[in-house]
Amino acid sequence: MTQALELRRHTMARVALGRVGTAQPTAAHLAFQAAHAQARDAVWSEADLAGDITVHSQARNRREYLLRPDLGRKLAEGTVLPAAPGMLVFVVADGLCATGVAAQAPAVIAAARSLLCLPVGPVVVARQARVALGDAIGAAMGAAAVAVLIGERPGLSAQDSLGIYLTWAPRQGRTDAERNCISNVRPGGLSALEAAQKLAWLLAAAQGLGLTGVALKDDMPGASLAMSPAAAGVSGALGATPATDASGALGATPATDASGALGATPAADPSGALGATPATDASGALGATPAADPSGALGATPAADPSGALGATPAADPSGALGATPAADPSGALT
């Protein structure tokens, strides 16, 4: 139980919920149903999104948007957009969670403006939009790059998450392999500032390479993100001190792996069960010589218990204070 509770401290996932017979506790079951209902509502949600221009996909309503993903990737007929040559265009798309993008997108755009290597064009709000709609918008505006900020598919733990999809030289027909994605932008994940920093780094790299996608590796230095250790993880890859990686696999010194199984010196395993020398097991129960158990309770000879309280002969207590016969105190100073 203690391990289960410790695990729950580190994740929002539904783990270690307990049980009643073969079923979940009532509270856990009701919480699951509530979260599922919230996720379903988020998919159908609508929100007021801030931008300079509003466009629509060819999906005429939410139902058609959900049933016909292809229509969400195409601009409505007759859409006219201003030119933005050489600029980065932000497309704020409702996606599968309009409330999520409404909550996160304004802060991301505000934080990114001063960090980007390209001028920012008009912010386009896209209704009933899929990610690929950004290609059509960017191509129509002649933009150098497009960043689609879209509501991510809601889950049972988060219904307010934003994803950012960066595409260099947008045009219709681009695939997802030609984009870079920054996901999980929300209060419980990546902050708006961290997302903006990541976007700025990717955009600069894309400008240098002339492309985005699988050929653009996210090698952003960890120090560039001012993240807390809790947000960054134990590897230090995003700027945290890699102090809890026992194996060194994530970059820390492998100093806390007692068995050596993860690469550390196996020096703290008293039983030898994990590969260390069994030198500190007093009872011998774990395989060491039982030499330090005075009472014999753990299997050693009870030779060092003067009072007999632990089972040894009470022969070495001169005062009798511990229960022995006071025969070795000639002065009476101890009585």
CATH code assigned at 88: 3.40.50.11240
Q: Bigger pLDDT: 262 or 183?
A: 183
- Taking the whole predicted model, whether its pTM rises above 0.85 is answered as no
Task: Quote the pLDDT of residue 2.
Answer: 74
Whether residue 21 is contained in a domain is answered as no
Q: What is the pLDDT of residues 9-20, one digit of tens each?
A: 777 777 778 889
CA 93, chain centre distance (Å): 25
Section 230-251 average pLDDT: 35
Number of independent structural domains in the chain = 1
Section 236-248 average pLDDT: 36
Whether residue 5 is contained in a domain is answered as no
Residue 59, domain extent = 53-216
Whether residue 136 is contained in a domain is answered as yes
Whether the Cβ atoms of residue 250 and residue 235 lie closer than 8 Å to each other: yes
CA atoms of 213 and 171, how far apart (whole Å): 14
Residue 21's region, left for phi above 0, alpha for psi from -120 to 50, else beta, is left
Whether the Cβ atoms of residue 97 and residue 185 lie closer than 8 Å to each other: no
Task: Quote the pLDDT of residue 223.
Answer: 52
CA atoms of 153 and 165, how far apart (whole Å): 14
Whether residue 120 is contained in a domain is answered as yes
Query: 1 pLDDT band (50/70/90 cuts)?
Result: low
Amino acid symbol at 88: L
pLDDT value at 261 more than 70: no
Radius of gyration of the chain (CA): 32
Whether residue 306 is contained in a domain is answered as no
Query: 298 pLDDT band (50/70/90 cuts)?
Result: very low
Adjacency order of strands within the sheet including 53-56: 53-56, 124-127, 88-93, 145-151, 162-168, 180-185
Q: Tell me the pLDDT of the chain averaged across its residues.
A: 75
Whether residue 90 is contained in a domain is answered as yes
If you write DSSP's letter for every residue of 181-202 in order, what string do you get? Answer: EEEEESTTSB-HHHHHHHHHHH
Query: 174 pLDDT band (50/70/90 cuts)?
Result: very high
Q: What is the pLDDT of residues 27-61, one digit of tens each?
A: 888 988 888 888 888 888 888 888 999 999 999 99
Whether residue 224 is contained in a domain is answered as no
Whether residue 3 is contained in a domain is answered as no
Section 211-232 average pLDDT: 68
pLDDT value at 204 more than 90: yes
Task: Quote the pLDDT of residue 225.
Answer: 55
CA atoms of 120 and 114, how far apart (whole Å): 10
